[in-house]
């Protein structure tokens, strides 16, 4: 499947999360101070939509029960989630933000 362009850097400001359908998955793209990270948009606790959570620094808080994940490593750092979310490689080329879901 290779690299898929999913967003434009110029329209995805720092501190925002956008959600994208890629290869049948829902991917949350997080802009942390100009660096982009892509994670599964599904909380590992009970399926909450992480794109609707709050992004503070590199932590996203699930809107359902407050678990927090490090968007860079995927690690669950605050209960009730204990399992990490999957992360995906991101590449920025010019204004294009691309993700690889293989």
Binding site for ligand FES (CB under 6 A): 43, 45-48, 62, 64-67, 80-81
CB of 61 vs ligand FES, minimal distance in Å:
9
Nearer to ligand FES, 14 or 47 (CB): 47
Strand partners, 76: 69
Residue 8 CB, nearest approach to ligand FES (Å): 29
Specify the residue, 32 or 50, whose C-beta has the smaller distance to ligand FES: 50
3-state secondary structure 32-99: ECCEEEEEECECCCCCCEHHHCEEECCEEECCCCCCEEECCCCCEEECCCCCCCCEECEEEECCEEEE
Shortest spacing between CB 30 and ligand FES, in angstroms: 16
Output 63 or 72, the one with its CB closest to ligand FES: 63
- 60: closest CA among 21, 22, 28, 34? 28
């Amino acid at each position: 499947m290779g690299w898929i362009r999913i967003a434009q850097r110029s329209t995805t400001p720092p501190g925002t999360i956008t959600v994208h359908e890629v290869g049948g998955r829902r991917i949350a793209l997080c802009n942390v101070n100009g660096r982009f990270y892509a994670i599964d948009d599904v909380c590992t606790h009970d399926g909450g939509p992480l794109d609707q959570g709050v992004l503070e620094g590199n932590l996203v808080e699930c809107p359902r029960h407050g678990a927090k994940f490090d968007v860079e490593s995927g690690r669950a750092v605050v209960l009730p989630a204990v399992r990490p979310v999957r992360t995906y490689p991101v590449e920025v080329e010019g204004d294009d933000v691309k993700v690889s879901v293989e």
